[in-house]
Amino acid sequence: MALAGGLAGKVAVVTGATRGCGRGIAVELGAAGATVYVTGRSTRESASPMRRTETIDETAELVDAAGGVGVPVRCDFSVVSDVDALRDRIAADHGRIDVLVDDVWGGDQFVEFGTPWWESDLDQGIGVLRNGIETHLVTLHRLLPLVVANRGGLVVEVTDGDSEDYPGPVGLPYFLVKSGVRALGRALGAELAAHGVTGLAVTPGFLRSEMMLEHFEVTEDNWRDGVAKDPNYIMAESPRYLGRAIAALAADPAVSRFAGRTLASWTLMREYGFTDVDGSKPDWGRWLADVVTTGTDPSTVDASAYR
């Protein structure tokens, strides 16, 4: 599937584009020719509470290198005036948004994984909800007018997982955020249809983001060594994989058939045929069903058959 130039002339906004899926999505939209507003809190001049080294400036440069136009704009999506300033800038520059990808998260370091809710820090848990849900509501309230200004737009909510079953032990705030984002995708699918805009949600599989690479004590070059900590990491996918999925959706003239659904990187791979950066096609959904759910020893399975 050739996407080079398929989004030429399109205006995209990616929230939470500093790192992880947001960065991968921004780069792949740029690779397809879009002008991408790369938004988040971390810049070379100012770090966010995440206290990580990645910045929106770096992401914008990667968008440029991929063939698009990266426009870094610092924006704290919990601050309405910041989002208003972003909206006003895009309105002045282009008057519209063709693709809006809502990927604000900023919560991993504040989630108490494996801790019962009644033993968790209440303020920290509420903060996770505000970071992961309120920011999405602010984003949609302020930026959707620029999307519905023209028919044919796409709004994508980025979540984690395509099932409403509680995956445990992720904690109630994390689960509420991710299930809430899926609910936003369903609601947007219904609410935006009358305006000729498609709303939906997407999820990656076993992601090898910058933070996950550090957790597994590997780099992008030797990520497969992470199987020493978790054999299922052999199915890890890069953030660019989900980026290619969204770029394919954005270039699909019949994308409205997916309105309201939560689509996974692997289901979209089956639909559009794109590959990850290493040329493989990781199918986390099939691996989850065949290996993880059945309790099969991953080391006994030919992983190449699943990617």
Answer for the pair 236, 19: CB distance below 8 angstroms, yes or no: no
**In the prediction, which pLDDT does 168 show?**
82
The amino acid sitting at 16 is G
pLDDT tens for 193-248 read: 999 999 999 999 999 999 999 999 999 999 999 999 999 999 999 999 999 999 99
**In the prediction, which pLDDT does 2 show?**
44
Strands 262-264, 99-102: pairing kind: unpaired
Q: Which domains does the chain have, with CATH numbers?
A: 11-298 (3.40.50.720)
CB burial readout 93-114, b (16+ within 10 A) else e: eeebbbbbbbbbbbbeebbbee
Q: Is 9 exposed, middle or buried (0-12, 13-18, 19+ CB in 10 A)?
A: exposed
- Quick one: which of 71, 59, 3 has its CA closest to 31? 3
Flag whether pLDDT at 117 surpasses 90: yes
Q: Which two tokens stand for residue 165?
A: 């079953």
- Strand, coil or helix: 264: strand
Strands 198-203, 262-264: pairing kind: parallel
Model's pTM, two decimal places? 0.94
pLDDT tens for 33-88 read: 999 999 999 888 888 887 788 899 999 999 999 999 999 999 999 999 999 999 99
CA angle (169 as vertex; 17, 102 as ends), nearest 5: 20
Average pLDDT, the chain: 95
Identify the top-confidence range among 48-57, 111-120, 248-257: 248-257
The amino acid sitting at 276 is D
**In the prediction, which pLDDT does 4 show?**
67
Flag whether pLDDT at 1 surpasses 60: no
**In the prediction, which pLDDT does 94 show?**
98
Confidence category of residue 9, pLDDT binned at 50, 70, 90: very high
**In the prediction, which pLDDT does 49 show?**
80
**In the prediction, which pLDDT does 277 show?**
97
Confidence category of residue 107, pLDDT binned at 50, 70, 90: confident
pLDDT tens for 262-288 read: 999 999 999 999 999 999 999 999 999
